[in-house]
């Protein structure tokens, strides 16, 4: 990895055109230009150049950023805002200008040690398994309490012996510790689609948590993941969380591609689930770190079609839901306001049941909280798209008959 | 808290007052990023009512008052050149009415241009002015600078679509110039023309009534490349006079083409070529019949590479090089100045050559991306303001260019406004009598020049 430059050029390519204002959730919320990418870049560069003294307002506006990276997509001058922001946030935390909440500091230590986190969140898995909701962020699901995704995968691989492409799978920290059922579903879907899945034991957290909080430790996590994933003889490393995939992609670049599992399945043409007569309606939201971070066009149409549900994109599907990694914990008021405008459509949405589908567990937590905190007053389910492709416990590879051996074109809807 | 902040907070009980150095830095410039001026304070009124209240008390503040929309202007307009308070209109974002039958809408000044477009789309109507900053810029800024855009060749600029303007003056009085019923406002219809393009020197806009048009049934976009300036000029002249009545005629010069082609936005344009982009629109039967004649015209002028389509996805790709070009400048250079001169089309080749010669001689890179149909040049001079002497070189080239523009019968600005960037060139175009009369207008509305001083006229200072 290249060493980080001591002081990056914060205003590098920025021509101050202002195109970032229109897509910035905090500018839209406050109407204050300092609370936009153009404003923040100006504050950082002025301070770096010695024209602006250290000011608590610079710290405030820096901490206000959700980190959704919509500005990177909007920026015609390719300003690497995410990288600059990450650098700045790290500096602010290191210098004591911003202090993440105690819970987050503890969590940061825990995610770096997946075994501890798995143990610590065992009660959460148990309660979720028993269907007892204990927090507004904990969406419904029935995770295995004791069996790990790695063990489960080894069993399934033995039983089904797929012969197709080989991939390594990032199980994640919180994903594995709290929302393991999504990992299990991911493995089932991959194997059903004849994909050979390898789970290296020595993998660790992708480092996104440290990036989001600005806390130390990301370099060690990146190094460990490089030693875990790079020696493997696989076509790609796949991730089922767009944020984790984005962070791991940065760690493994340029040596090994990290693919979003839905994007990867789009190329294979996944087995379609039949849901004839279903009155359910799926609304698809696109995580920021999928479209603005990984810069994918979206979730492939053939994957969404394969869920078997009637589906459409949620309004403003490419806009942030306010989750922003840990933003909804650090800035709950802003995150709630962003979510409120984003999720309002659910109150009037058609379908029985209504399913909100996305591809990042942190966004799922945020979407779930819309119901738990009373923003959305009608019942709805939050699902990972991979769960909607899940064949369940009893399945055969591609239904034993290879329905579509040719690789299908990975197409996305116009505009997405 | 300073005395100024204390007064401001009393004037804006619901809005926001920004006064810390780090809260002012973000408002130091518009899109002309290298020229920065720190304001004394920034206020964000919560709504129109609060803006009126602010204006009522603003005279007592004893500092300049500068109105600002999204700050995307390229003229150094909404900046605190003489210090003072910037009034940011981001709180006035209501689209108050869309009257489809009457083909008009009523919007507040802080509504974004593309936000309005999105709201109008389901009704089958549109608001034609389309400056490239559309995703961000506000209608307040558009009216203040009389903004244009690519499609103004046929549709005309902002002033053709403003039916009425509501303005607050510095004494807090609210005036309505025109309105949806044409001249039936309390002021004579044509007085609104004083307001359009006034660059914040007369009063603060609160809302507008804007004229709308039905969305054209069919649009065809054409892209053609030409080996030299002479042949593309022939194509432009032929198009302007052609019965197909083009909606837009845009040009990207070889340096612009090279910039696009060496970036990730590359679309496969031939090296060293001039790119022409044009559009025709109207009823399907009519425009479909015009497609072949237009393509033939483009070929006849010397293009062996004419591509055209009526499919939205392909049309967007054809526009891609043009749309991407502006932002790509930032990847080449930390700063740039873009001029906005309008010239008679017969002088196009000559003035472009002058741009190249002057820029090359000074060692400054120049890229031309502009609205060729209406002769609205946009030479972009790329430089680094941190390198001593570069800005001075660019200013010298700009001045020589302006002198030549005026000699050939052109003028300073087509759509960006004068701001403080072009104020120094005003006397090149206007004689003393004309300057005196123009000066009298802001003096009538705000005699101490408290509103946006040092703009349009370089020596128009606020004197408390």
Report the residue of chain B nearest A11, measured CA to CA: B334
pLDDT value of position A403:
44
What residues of chain B, 351 to 390, have a C-beta less than 8 Å from chain A? none
CB pair distance less than 8 Å for B313 and A414:
yes
Residue B407 has pLDDT above 70, yes or no: yes
Q: Which residues pair with A167 in a beta bridge?
A: A197, A236
Instruction: Name chain B contacts of A23, Cβ cutoff 8 Å.
Output: 135
pLDDT value of position A8:
59
Residue B364 has pLDDT above 90, yes or no: yes
CB contact set of A109 (below 8 Å; sequence gap of 6+)? none
Interface test with B, best of A9, A76, A92 (most B CBs within 10 A): A76
| Short-list B463, B445, B390, B386, CA closest to B201 | B445
CB pair distance less than 8 Å for B26 and A36:
yes
Which residue bears the tokens 């603060």?
Answer: B204
CB pair distance less than 8 Å for A17 and B327:
yes
Express each pLDDT in A191-242 by its tens digit: 999 999 999 999 999 999 999 999 999 999 999 999 999 999 999 999 999 9
CB pair distance less than 8 Å for B22 and A61:
yes
Q: Which CATH superfamily is domain B218-407 in?
A: FAD-linked oxidases, C-terminal domain (3.40.462.10)
CA distance A70 to chain B (A): 13
CB contact set of B448 (below 8 Å; sequence gap of 6+)? B462, B463, B464
Q: What is the distance between the alpha carbons of residues A99 and A103, in angstroms, rounded to a whole number?
A: 11
Average pLDDT over residues B215-223: 97
Query: Residue A351 to residues A283, A373, A376, A381, B53: CA-CA distances in angstroms?
Result: 10, 22, 15, 11, 48
Q: Which residues pair with B87 in a beta bridge?
A: B43, B67
| Short-list B241, B269, B326, B345, CA closest to B31 | B326
CB pair distance less than 8 Å for B18 and A32:
yes
Q: What is the distance between the alpha carbons of residues A251 and B260, in angstroms, rounded to a whole number?
A: 30
Query: What is the pairing mode between strands B213-214 and B125-126?
Result: antiparallel
B463 touches chain A (CB under 8 A): no
Answer for the pair B367, B274: CB distance below 8 angstroms, yes or no: no
Phi, psi of B255 (to 5 degrees): -70, -35
Domain borders along chain A are: 21-94, 104-268, 281-389
Answer for the pair B127, B117: CB distance below 8 angstroms, yes or no: yes
- Give the three-class secondary structure for B140: helix
Q: What is the distance between the alpha carbons of residues B46 and B99, in angstroms, rounded to a whole number?
A: 26
Q: Is B117 exposed, middle or buried (0-12, 13-18, 19+ CB in 10 A)?
A: middle
B91 touches chain A (CB under 8 A): yes
Neighbours of A411 (CB within 10 A): 11
pLDDT value of position A249:
97
pLDDT value of position B48:
96
B44 touches chain A (CB under 8 A): yes
- Our CA angle for A259, A265, A269, nearest 5°, is 150
Domain B1-215+430-464, second-level architecture = 2-Layer Sandwich (3.30)
Do you find a cis peptide bond into A353, omega within 30 degrees of 0?
yes
pLDDT value of position A416:
45
Instruction: Name chain A contacts of B20, Cβ cutoff 8 Å.
Output: 55-57
Structure letter (DSSP) for residue B42? E
- Give the three-class secondary structure for A410: coil
Nearest to B70 among A15, A21, A76 (CB): A21
CA distance B8 to chain A (A): 16
Q: Which two tokens stand for residue B389?
A: 């002497």
What residues of chain B, 314 to 333, have a C-beta less than 8 Å from chain A? 324, 326-331
CB contact set of B453 (below 8 Å; sequence gap of 6+)? B64, B81, B82, B84, B460, B461, B462
A57: number of CA atoms within 13 Å, CB side?
20
pLDDT value of position A408:
42
Four-point Cα dihedral A18, A19, A21, A25, nearest 10? -160
Interface test with B, best of A9, A22, A80, A297 (most B CBs within 10 A): A22
Answer for the pair A110, A209: CB distance below 8 angstroms, yes or no: no
Strand A381-384: give its sheet, edge to edge: A310-313, A281-284, A354-358, A381-384
Nearest to B136 among A22, A47, A58 (CB): A22
Answer for the pair B108, B119: CB distance below 8 angstroms, yes or no: no
Neighbours of A152 (CB within 10 A): 17
CB pair distance less than 8 Å for A77 and B26:
no
pLDDT value of position A108:
86
Answer for the pair B426, B460: CB distance below 8 angstroms, yes or no: no
Calculate the CA B173 to chain-centre distance: 28
Residue B339 has pLDDT above 60, yes or no: yes
Nearest to A43 among B22, B91, B328 (CB): B22
B26 touches chain A (CB under 8 A): yes
- Our CA angle for A398, A404, A409, nearest 5°, is 120
Nearest to B70 among A13, A18, A34 (CB): A18
Report the residue of chain B nearest A37, measured CA to CA: B26
Express each pLDDT in B240-260 by its tens digit: 999 999 999 999 999 999 988
B30 touches chain A (CB under 8 A): yes
| Short-list A279, A289, A294, A277, CA closest to A324 | A289
Structure letter (DSSP) for residue B123? G
DSSP state string for B235-266: HHHHHHTSTT--SEEEEE-HHHHHHHHTSTT-
Q: What is the mean pLDDT of chain B?
A: 93
pLDDT value of position A77:
84
pLDDT value of position A78:
86
Q: Per-residue confidence of chain A (416 residues) as pLDDT tens digits?
A: 344 445 556 566 888 889 999 999 999 999 999 999 999 999 999 999 899 999 999 999 999 999 999 999 998 888 999 999 999 999 999 999 999 989 889 888 888 888 889 999 999 999 999 888 778 888 989 999 999 999 999 999 999 999 999 999 999 999 999 999 999 999 999 999 999 999 999 999 999 999 999 999 999 999 999 999 999 999 999 999 999 999 999 999 999 999 999 999 999 999 999 998 899 999 999 999 999 999 999 999 999 999 999 999 999 999 999 999 899 999 999 999 999 999 999 999 999 899 999 999 999 999 999 998 899 999 999 999 999 999 999 999 987 644 444 444 444 433 34
Phi, psi of A269 (to 5 degrees): 75, 85
CA distance A292 to chain B (A): 16
pLDDT value of position A132:
83
Report the residue of chain B nearest A33, measured CA to CA: B26
Average pLDDT over residues B287-306: 96
Domain borders along chain B are: 1-215+430-464, 218-407
Average pLDDT over residues B333-347: 89
CB pair distance less than 8 Å for B328 and A77:
yes
Q: Is B119 exposed, middle or buried (0-12, 13-18, 19+ CB in 10 A)?
A: middle
Residue B335 has pLDDT above 50, yes or no: yes
Which residue bears the tokens 């991730």?
Answer: A239
pLDDT value of position B180:
84
Q: What is the mean pLDDT of chain A?
A: 91
CA distance A50 to chain B (A): 12
Instruction: Name chain A contacts of B29, Cβ cutoff 8 Å.
Output: 16
Instruction: Name chain A contacts of B93, Cβ cutoff 8 Å.
Output: 31
What residues of chain A, 174 to 213, have a C-beta less than 8 Å from chain B? none
Helix (H) or strand (E) holding B294, with range, is: helix B284-300
Instruction: Name chain B contacts of A57, Cβ cutoff 8 Å.
Output: 20-23
CA distance B35 to chain A (A): 11
CB pair distance less than 8 Å for A19 and B133:
yes
B72 touches chain A (CB under 8 A): yes
Q: Which two tokens stand for residue B228?
A: 């030299």
Q: What is the distance between the alpha carbons of residues A81 and A292, in angstroms, rounded to a whole number?
A: 11
CB pair distance less than 8 Å for A34 and B33:
no
B139 touches chain A (CB under 8 A): no
CA distance A241 to chain B (A): 27
A58 touches chain B (CB under 8 A): yes
Q: CATH number for A104-268: choose from 3.30.450, 3.60.40, 2.20.130, 3.40.50.
A: 3.40.50
Answer for the pair A318, A286: CB distance below 8 angstroms, yes or no: yes
pLDDT value of position B190:
75
Answer for the pair B401, B341: CB distance below 8 angstroms, yes or no: yes
Query: Residue B460 to residues B41, B81, B362, B449: CA-CA distances in angstroms?
Result: 21, 11, 32, 7
Q: What is the distance between the alpha carbons of residues B265 and B326, in angstroms, rounded to a whole number?
A: 12
pLDDT value of position A10:
59
Under 8 Å CB pairs connecting chains A and B tally to 118
Instruction: Name chain B contacts of A40, Cβ cutoff 8 Å.
Output: 26
Nearest to A14 among B22, B44, B330 (CB): B330
pLDDT value of position A11:
61
Report the residue of chain B nearest A55, measured CA to CA: B22
Instruction: Name chain A contacts of B312, Cβ cutoff 8 Å.
Output: 414
Neighbours of A303 (CB within 10 A): 29
Neighbours of A159 (CB within 10 A): 8
Average pLDDT over residues B373-379: 91
Express each pLDDT in B45-101 by its tens digit: 999 999 999 999 999 999 999 999 999 999 999 999 999 999 999 999 999 999 999
């Amino acid at each position: 990895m290249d060493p980080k430059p001591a002081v990056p050029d914060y205003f590098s390519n920025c021509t101050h055109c202002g195109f970032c204002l229109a897509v910035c959730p905090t500018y839209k919320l406050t109407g204050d230009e300092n609370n936009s990418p153009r404003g923040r870049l100006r504050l950082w560069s002025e301070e770096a150049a010695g024209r602006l003294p250290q000011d608590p307002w610079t710290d405030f506006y820096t901490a206000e950023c959700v980190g959704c990276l919509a500005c990177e997509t909007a920026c015609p001058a390719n300003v690497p805002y995410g990288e600059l922001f990450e650098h700045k946030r790290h500096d602010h935390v290191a210098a004591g200008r911003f202090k993440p909440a105690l819970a987050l500091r503890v969590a940061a230590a825990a995610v770096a040690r997946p075994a501890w986190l798995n143990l610590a969140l065992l009660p959460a898995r148990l309660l979720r398994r028993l269907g007892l909701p204990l927090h507004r962020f904990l969406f419904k699901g029935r995770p295995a309490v004791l069996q790990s995704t790695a063990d489960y995968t080894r069993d399934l691989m033995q039983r089904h012996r797929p012969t197709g492409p080989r991939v390594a799978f990032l199980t994640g920290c919180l994903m594995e510790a709290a929302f393991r059922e999504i990992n299990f579903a991911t493995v089932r879907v991959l194997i059903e689609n004849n994909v050979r899945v390898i789970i290296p034991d020595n993998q660790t957290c992708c480092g996104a948590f440290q990036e989001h909080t600005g806390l130390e430790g990301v370099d060690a996590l990146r190094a460990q993941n490089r030693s875990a994933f790079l020696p493997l003889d696989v076509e790609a490393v796949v991730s089922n969380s767009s944020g984790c995939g984005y962070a791991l992609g940065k760690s493994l670049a340029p040596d090994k591609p990290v693919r979003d599992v839905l994007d990867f399945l789009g190329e294979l043409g996944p087995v379609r689930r039949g849901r004839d007569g279903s009155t359910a309606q799926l609304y698809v939201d696109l995580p920021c770190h999928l479209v603005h971070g990984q810069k994918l066009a979206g979730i492939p149409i053939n994957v969404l079609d394969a869920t078997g549900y009637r589906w459409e994109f949620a309004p403003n599907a490419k806009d942030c839901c306010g989750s922003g990694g840990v933003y909804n914990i650090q800035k709950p008021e802003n995150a709630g306001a962003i979510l409120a405008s984003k999720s309002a459509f659910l109150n009037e949405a058609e379908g029985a049941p209504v399913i909100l589908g996305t591809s990042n567990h942190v966004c799922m937590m945020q979407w779930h909280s819309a119901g738990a905190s009373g923003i959305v007053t009608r019942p709805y389910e939050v699902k990972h798209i991979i769960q909607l492709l899940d064949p369940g416990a009893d399945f055969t590879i591609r239904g034993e008959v290879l329905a579509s051996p040719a690789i299908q074109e990975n197409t996305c809807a116009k505009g997405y | 808290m300073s005395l100024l902040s204390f007064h401001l907070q009393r004037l804006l009980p619901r809005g926001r007052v920004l006064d810390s150095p780090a809260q002012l830095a973000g408002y130091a410039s518009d899109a002309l990023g290298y020229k920065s001026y720190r304001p004394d304070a920034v206020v964000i009124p919560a709504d129109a009512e609060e803006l009126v209240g602010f204006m009522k008390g603003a005279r007592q503040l004893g500092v300049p008052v500068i109105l600002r929309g999204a700050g995307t202007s390229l003229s150094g307009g909404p900046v605190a050149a003489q210090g003072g308070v910037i009034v940011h209109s981001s709180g006035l974002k209501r689209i108050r009415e869309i009257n489809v039958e009457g083909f008009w809408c009523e919007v507040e000044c802080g509504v974004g241009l593309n936000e309005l477009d999105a709201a109008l789309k389901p009704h089958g109507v549109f608001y034609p002015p389309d400056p490239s900053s559309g995703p961000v810029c506000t209608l307040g800024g558009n009216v203040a600078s009389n903004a244009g855009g690519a499609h103004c060749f046929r549709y005309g600029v902002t002033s053709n679509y403003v039916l009425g303007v509501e303005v607050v003056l510095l004494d807090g009085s609210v005036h309505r110039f025109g309105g949806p019923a044409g001249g039936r406002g309390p002021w004579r219809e044509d007085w609104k023309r004083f307001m359009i393009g006034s660059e914040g020197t007369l009063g603060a806009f609160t809302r507008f009534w804007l004229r709308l048009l039905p969305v054209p049934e069919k649009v065809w976009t054409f892209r053609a490349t030409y080996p030299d300036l002479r042949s593309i000029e022939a194509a432009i002249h032929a198009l302007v006079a052609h019965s197909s009545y083009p909606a837009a005629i845009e040009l990207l010069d070889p340096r612009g083409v090279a910039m696009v082609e060496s970036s990730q936005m590359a679309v496969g344009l031939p090296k060293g070529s001039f790119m022409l982009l044009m559009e025709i629109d109207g009823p399907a039967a009519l425009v479909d019949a015009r497609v072949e004649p237009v393509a033939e015209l483009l070929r006849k002028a010397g293009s062996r590479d004419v591509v055209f389509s009526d499919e939205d996805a392909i049309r967007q790709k054809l526009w891609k090089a043009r749309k991407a070009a502006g932002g790509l400048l930032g990847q080449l250079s930390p700063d740039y100045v873009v001029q906005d001169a309008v010239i008679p089309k017969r002088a196009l080749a000559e003035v472009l050559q002058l741009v190249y010669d002057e820029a090359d001689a000074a060692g400054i890179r120049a890229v031309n991306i502009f609205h060729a149909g209406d002769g609205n040049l946009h030479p972009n001079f790329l430089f680094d303001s941190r390198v001593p002497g570069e800005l001075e070189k660019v200013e010298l080239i700009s001045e020589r260019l302006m002198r030549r523009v005026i000699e050939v019968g052109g003028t300073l600005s087509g759509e960006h406004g004068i701001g403080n960037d072009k104020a120094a060139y005003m006397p090149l175009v206007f004689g003393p009598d004309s300057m005196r009369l123009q000066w009298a207008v802001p003096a009538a509305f705000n005699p101490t020049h408290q509103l946006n001083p040092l703009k349009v006229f370089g020596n128009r200072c606020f004197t408390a």
